Amino acid sequence: MATLTHAPSRPGTTPGRPPRGPVPPRSSVRYLGPNWYAAVMGTAAVANAGAALPFGAAALRPAYAAVWVLSALMLVTLLAARTVHWVRHRDQARRQLLDPAVAPFYGCLSMALVAVGGGALAVGGDVIGRPAALAADAVLWILGTLVGLAAAAAIPYLMVTRHRIEPGSASPVWLLPVVAPMVSAALGPALVPHLPGGQWAEAMLLACYAMFGMSLLATLLVLPLVVGRLFQHGPLPLALTPTLFLVLGPLGQSTTAVNNLADAAPGAVDASYAHAMGAFAVLYGVPVMGFALLWLALATAMVVRAVRGGMTFAMTWWGFTFPLGTCVTGAAGLARHTGLTAFGWFAVALYAVLVSVVAVAAARTGSGLARGTLLAPPR
């Protein structure tokens, strides 16, 4: 959930190491890509994942609420900047949409909207009031879901019909548009108790299950391409190595989804179905989190290798954040449904890593913006 850093052959792509020196203010948003929504996602993940922790959530709610406010301000600012980008630099915006290295990041817009909306209902009510938080979550969830469904269909279509995909170029960023509906499936259940009982609540619950299946099956199609690229062509370029953590996104988010859906099922569907959904949350979530642990070990080893090889900061570092947040919420959900404190402490440990990584990425991003390097024209 960060920008790709291939050395671009055309001006639509985003460079990994922008040239040094300030950028004239009048051109500062020309190269602002959809990948920047990853910073909003990562920041919102700190609030959402913290609120889901089984230990200390109540005592730290003011801190989580403050982080949510920051993510909401970031979202508003970025939406305004991207609007200016599309109005003033349509040529560049079209190039980004038709560039296979940039287009998948349009899925980040959906996830940023839904993540900030979910944070509003989880902790934002402490700041803006419960009714306003519920309204904000409903509006952002609907908008984000519509954008996510459009991206899940349109980006693969463009990749098939318009993009030139080179052999061996499969990337974890290909997961971004297809995982967006999974985020809606994971955060939608929080709205179920606020809907009228009967058909409305059941329809919402089953719609989230449909998006869960849609995203899961699409992930199962894309993930083998990514793994095959690693085995056949070796490690990713240094600056792209953090994107390996994107694979954790559908794993952690799908585990979060089935647990949240099981929480919302009683009262929305028949008791027998609700019981089956609770069992499915554990039977699905535990094996998937096991695979997430395996991938986490592999991705961490590859990042250590890249750091030793000279990897420096790039916007790809935001790729560490949101996927880790989904694993926190997934482990917390399993702690609720299994009663195992081991899952709870695992969620806490991952959350500590998440906060550390977000702090580093935010500091380096702020420094890059102040110097004008992150929005510089590509070389």
The CATH number given to whatever domain includes residue 140 is: 1.50.10.150
Position 375 scores a pLDDT of 87
* Residue whose C-alpha is closest to residue 176's, from 102, 75, 85, 258: 102
- According to DSSP, residue 244 is labeled G
Spatial separation of the C-alpha atoms in residues 326 and 250, rounded to whole Å:
8
pLDDT in tens, 71-110: 999 999 999 999 999 999 999 999 999 999 899 999 999 9
**10 in any annotated domain:** no
CA distances (Å), 146 to each of 23, 101, 181, 296, in order?
35, 23, 9, 31
Position 55 scores a pLDDT of 84
Reading the block at residue 250, the tokens are 């559908």
Spatial separation of the C-alpha atoms in residues 293 and 297, rounded to whole Å:
6
Give the relative orientation of helices 248-264 and 271-308 as an angle to the nearest 10 degrees: 160
pLDDT in tens, 239-248: 999 999 999 9
Position 167 scores a pLDDT of 84
- According to DSSP, residue 266 is labeled B
**102 in any annotated domain:** yes
Tell me which residue range forms the domain holding 343.
Answer: 28-370
**18 in any annotated domain:** no
The one-letter amino acid at 270: D
**12 in any annotated domain:** no
**34 in any annotated domain:** yes
Position 58 scores a pLDDT of 78
Spatial separation of the C-alpha atoms in residues 43 and 357, rounded to whole Å:
10
Spatial separation of the C-alpha atoms in residues 254 and 285, rounded to whole Å:
8
Cα pseudo-dihedral 261, 267, 268, 271, rounded to 10? 80
Reading the block at residue 271, the tokens are 């008791």
Spatial separation of the C-alpha atoms in residues 114 and 122, rounded to whole Å:
12
Residues whose CB is less than 8 angstroms from the CB of residue 322 and which lie 6 or more positions away in sequence, other chains included: 1, 38, 41, 42, 45, 111, 115, 249
Spatial separation of the C-alpha atoms in residues 374 and 109, rounded to whole Å:
19
Provide the whole-model pTM: 0.90
Q: Specify whether the CB–CB gap between 28 and 92 falls below 8 A.
A: no
Half-sphere exposure of 277 (CA within 13 A, CB side): 24
Half-sphere exposure of 215 (CA within 13 A, CB side): 34
Position 379 scores a pLDDT of 64
Q: Which residues of the chain have pLDDT under 70?
A: 1-27, 379
State how many domains the chain has.
Answer: 1
* Residue whose C-alpha is closest to residue 192's, from 172, 206, 176: 206
Reading the block at residue 352, the tokens are 């500590």
Position 8 scores a pLDDT of 39
**103 in any annotated domain:** yes
**379 in any annotated domain:** no
Return left, alpha or beta for 198; rule: phi > 0 is left, psi -120 to 50 is alpha, else beta. Answer: left
**365 in any annotated domain:** yes
Spatial separation of the C-alpha atoms in residues 262 and 284, rounded to whole Å:
12
